[in-house]
Amino acid sequence: MNFSEVRSLVRLRRPVLDPVERTLSRCVTVDDVRTAAHRRWPAGVRGYVEGGADGEVSLRRNRQAFSDYALRPFTLRDVSRTDLTTTLLGSPASAPLALGPTGYTRMMHSAGERAVARAARTAGVPYTLSTMATTSIEDVARDVPGELWFQLYVWRDRQLMRELLARAQDSGYRVLMLTVDTPVTGLRVRDAHHGFTIPPQLSPRTVFDMARHPGWCLRMLSGPMITFANINGDRGQTPSGVMQFAASQFDDTVTWEDLAEIRQLWPGPLVVKGLLRTEDAVRAADAGVDAVVLSNHGGRQLDQTVAPLHALPEVVDALQGRAEVLVDSGVRRGTDIAIALALGASAVLIGRPYLYGLGAGGEQGVSAVIGMLCDELRRAMQLLGVSTVEELRREGPGLVRRVARPETADLPVG
């Protein structure tokens, strides 16, 4: 074998990749990224991300809802120029997709909220920072200026809530998203079983668990403590249990009057997240919100709910364009996004998928997940015979049909 033959063999070999690139290069779908994240997370973190409330029926139903719809593609159409771009609440977005709010994000990877916001900015989609974030409103806005949305919980301490709102506005967040499905916290059984706390508390079980995930531990130990970046100070101590803290701070007296006050206080686009009833969506539009997010909080709050996807057609019909309708809970593939849009949604939010990306590979992992979903959506649109997001929504009624399924066939017992 001469030298040039040897060289061509060497070139044929896969390039040397760093561990994150190697992991991500093996992932084809969001499910693959999820598996990779699971390998890196201690059981407590895995349980917190993946868990639903109570018997996790809502959680399972969210996924099953997508298979209740069948697509009916148009054929023999030129789909060589597919365009995913759209407008979300008055601003351009590169795809009908936004990253929803998630609390305690630095626990999934020490790169935390900044890494997620950077990946969203690179991809050209909005990122929503949670009130329960582990990086402050100001730090994210300073380090990653771009299309930022802020998610607000209504606190017992209304003054704190108004301060959060003012800080978000001063820092340049364009959209405010008020979450309304949390007057109290859902019962997260997995967290209780794992003794899950923020920050993680040391017990023989948690130490053993963490020791089996040294990469995660080293990254966590090398960074600052995981705390709530927005609500510490003299009003909120770093809590021990997620549910205990929320129970002490979330306000279970919240009503439509609070929404009216927030509408007065926030001059920009206002979104209400966590609705499942048509009359609530209509009432929110009457109250002047710009968009609603149909959501059951990814199955983490009330168990046994209707899947948000199933609530979508009726809400779209009732609102008649008075407010944009977004949907989340269970989106894992491009075809899921296509179905939601065909049913009239303006866009979808994702929660766990980008946390899988973060866990598997930090910012690169989040970018990989967004990229997969966009590629899949593009391919789905081409195979459906539509070229634009607008066309997908307009042709939606002809493209998607609900298929009959016995109500109980889907839910595994136990």
Ligand X SMILES: Cc1cc2nc3c(=O)[nH]c(=O)nc-3n(C[C@H](O)[C@H](O)[C@H](O)COP(=O)(O)O)c2cc1C
Catalytically active residues, by annotation: 297
70: β partners: 401
Residue 185 touches which of ligand X, ligand 7N5, none (Cβ within 5-8 Å per kind): ligand 7N5
Closest CB 100 distance from ligand 7N5, rounded Å: 10
Taking CB within 5 to 8 Å according to partner kind, which of ligand 7N5, ligand X, none is near residue 330? ligand X
Which C-beta is closer to ligand 7N5: that of 132 or that of 307? 132
> What number of other Cβ atoms are within 10 A of residue 183's Cβ?
13
Q: Which residues of the shown chain bind ligand X in the complex (CB under 6 A)?
A: 48-49, 62, 100-103, 130, 132, 151, 179, 273, 295, 297-298, 300, 328-331, 349-353, 355
- Check binding of 367 to ligand 7N5 (CB under 6 A): no
Interacting residue with ligand 7N5 among 97, 198, 242, 275 (CB under 6 A): 242
**Could you say which of ligand X, ligand 7N5, none residue 246 binds, taking C-beta under 5 to 8 angstroms by partner kind?**
ligand 7N5
Which residue's CB is nearer to ligand 7N5, number 60 or number 379? 60
Cβ proximity to ligand X, 213 vs 300, nearer residue: 300
Per DSSP, the residues of 253-320 read T--HHHHHHHHHH--S-EEEEEE--HHHHHHHHHTT-SEEEE--GGGTSSTTPPPHHHHHHHHHHHHT
d(CA 206, CA 200): 8
Cβ closest to ligand 7N5, residue 103 vs residue 146? 103
CB atoms within 10 A of CB 82: 17
Identify the H or E element spanning 402. strand 400-402
Rounded to the nearest whole angstrom, what is the least distance from the CB of residue 235 to ligand 7N5 in the complex?
17
**CB atoms inside a 10 Å sphere around CB 184:** 13
Least distance to ligand 7N5 from the beta carbon of 108, Å?
12
CB of 332 to ligand X, least distance (A): 7
The residue of the chain with the least Cβ separation from ligand 7N5 equals 103
Return the closest-CA partner of residue 43 out of 186, 199, 208.
208
Write the interaction track for ligand 7N5 spanning residues 281-300; mark x where CB under 6 A is met and - where it is not: ----------------x--x
Q: Which is nearer to ligand X, 197 or 295 (CB)?
A: 295
Report the nearest approach of ligand 7N5 to the CB of residue 167 (Å).
Answer: 19
What span, in angstroms and rounded, lies between the C-alpha atoms of 308 and 152? 21
Binding status of residue 103 toward ligand 7N5 by CB under 6 A: yes
Size of the residue set binding ligand 7N5 (CB under 6 A): 7
CB of 185 to ligand 7N5, least distance (A): 5
CB 342 within 8 A of CB 393: yes
Q: Give the number of C-alpha atoms closer than 13 A to the C-alpha of residue 56, restricted to the C-beta side.
A: 16
The span from the CA of 93 to the CA of 175, in Å, is 14
Which residues inside 298-337 make contact with ligand 7N5, applying CB under 6 A?
Answer: 300
Q: Say how far apart CA 144 and CA 267 lie, in whole Å.
A: 22
Task: List the single partner that 364 binds among ligand X, ligand 7N5, none, CB under 5 to 8 Å by kind.
Answer: none
Taking a C-beta distance cutoff of 8 angstroms, is the pair 278, 315 a contact? yes
> What is the number of H-type helices and E-type strands within the chain?
19, 12
Binding site for ligand 7N5 (CB under 6 A): 103, 132, 185, 242, 246, 297, 300
